[in-house]
Amino acid sequence: MRDQVVPRVIARMLIPYMLVYGFYVASHGELGPGGGFQAGVILAAALILHSLVHGLEETQRGVPRRWVDRTMAFGVLLYIGVGIHGLLAGNAFLDYSSLALGATDPESIHGAEAMGMTLVETGVTLTVAAVMVTLFDKFATAARR
């Protein structure tokens, strides 16, 4: 579709908004409707739209496969890391209150819990986005063979 103007222009207009919207949904996960899964899919949709219009190779020049693979693992690591932070602080696994870093007033604890959820949701976002991109990549390359 590289030589067609309309899809190219529309993609150029849409992709930045899709990315911003993805981050918006991710950051609202713990309070409003949204969350890691939806955000990850929206972010991946932006990349998939790019490769539909410009071709897979063009997208992979910007976002190499190796990085997608690592993002997949990094997202999970972020999630586990939040849990282990609780463990190392002497609390239970995934006890977010340890993220208050010693502060005990209710305000800080509440903030730490929001922080914990946001970090976990960010991990989910990254992993889901990377998995969706990989799935598309696999199907696209398999279809070409």
- Within 60-89, the residues that bind another protein by CB under 8 A are 69-70, 72-73, 76-77, 80, 83-84, 86-87
Q: Which is nearer to another protein, 18 or 29 (CB)?
A: 29
Specify the residue for token string 């991946």: 44
Q: Which is nearer to another protein, 28 or 70 (CB)?
A: 70
CB 46 within 8 A of CB 37: no
Record the tokens describing residue 142, joined without a space: 């398999």
Candidate residues 41, 94, 114, 131; the one interacting with another protein per rule CB under 8 A: 94
Record the tokens describing residue 32, joined without a space: 């409003």
Q: Minimum distance from CB of 58 to another protein (Å)?
A: 23
Binding track over 2-41 against another protein, x by CB under 8 A: ----------------------------------------
How many residues touch another protein under the rule CB under 8 A: the total is 19
End-to-end CA distance of the chain: give it in Å, rounded: 19
Residues whose CB is less than 8 angstroms from the CB of residue 131 and which lie 6 or more positions away in sequence, other chains included: 40, 44, 72
| 119 near another protein, judged by CB under 8 A | no
Count of other CB atoms within 10 angstroms of residue 25: 23
| 106 near another protein, judged by CB under 8 A | no
DSSP H helices in 36-105 = 36-54, 56-62, 65-88
| 92 near another protein, judged by CB under 8 A | yes
CB 26 within 8 A of CB 121: yes
Residues that bind another protein in the complex, under the rule CB under 8 A: 69-70, 72-73, 76-77, 80, 83-84, 86-87, 90-97
